[in-house]
Amino acid sequence: MELRTTPYRDEYRRQCIDLMSDTWNHNALFPGLTRENLVNELFFHEATVGANYSRIVLDENDRVAGYLFGILKRDSRGRLIRGLRTLGVIVRMLFHFLAGHLGPRRRGWKTAAGLLAMMSALESHRRDSDAFVSLFFVASSLRGRGWGKRLMEDFQRHCEAQGYQRIYLWTDKGCNYLFYDRQGFRRTIEVSSPLLAGYGDEPNGFAYVKPLTTESAAESGVG
């Protein structure tokens, strides 16, 4: 199989959402959804709306086999633009909620509030100066073949070149979370939530940090 990487383009949006759905099934959180994959569509939009770094893996048939989106905050203008886009995400989700697209409103509101609280807990150690991995998936057919490592190392090199000192991300048991332990990340937060995959007696949500100790980062004063 011949594979290549390229920056994200909107024409691959549907394929990216479908690939995410192979790992995360958010539909079960909102019984009564009026459209399958609506929650994943909203999650994908929220995770990528402020992203200013992207790489996707394409096969010889131009099918998406993996991707990584990152958010790097460097200037006030960029933060303003991403803030306005995030406001648009909130308005979009509110519309779907009020229209009943997320199922019964009372249960949908409770679940949405729980998701926001859980995400806030997992991002509580995130600094404004961190490079943030907002979305990262690799197709099951590529796992163990080094493509996840390649995507992450490409992002790390980009962050180092831009003077960043840390990479921050969060994940759950539904993903190959031990990958980050092997790649030199340090686990900083553990949570247990019924809204995340693998809920049980042990933590199923994790936040990770990877220090980037480079000369460019030290000289920039970022961090």
Average pLDDT, 10 consecutive residues per value, the chain (223 residues): 93 94 79 84 86 95 96 65 63 81 85 84 88 93 89 96 94 89 94 87 93 57 40
Comparing CA positions, the residue from 31, 32, 33 lying closest to residue 42 is 33
Q: What's residue 141's pLDDT?
A: 86
pTM of the model: 0.86
Are 127 and 172 a contacting pair, CB within 8 Å?
Answer: no
Which residues does 215 contact at the CB level (< 8 Å), separation at least 6? Answer: none
- Provide the residue range defining the domain that includes 160: 4-220
Residue with tokens 């539904």: 174
The secondary structure of residue 90, as a DSSP letter, is H
CATH code at position 211? 3.40.630.30
> 171: how many CB neighbours lie within 10 A of its CB?
21
Beta strand 53-58 with 64-71 is antiparallel
Comparing CA positions, the residue from 166, 105, 81 lying closest to residue 132 is 166
Are 2 and 60 a contacting pair, CB within 8 Å?
Answer: yes
Q: What's residue 155's pLDDT?
A: 97
Structural domain count, the chain: 1
Q: Which residues of 89-105 are buried (b: 16+ CB within 10 A; e: fewer)?
A: beeebeebbeeebbbee
Q: What's residue 73's pLDDT?
A: 77
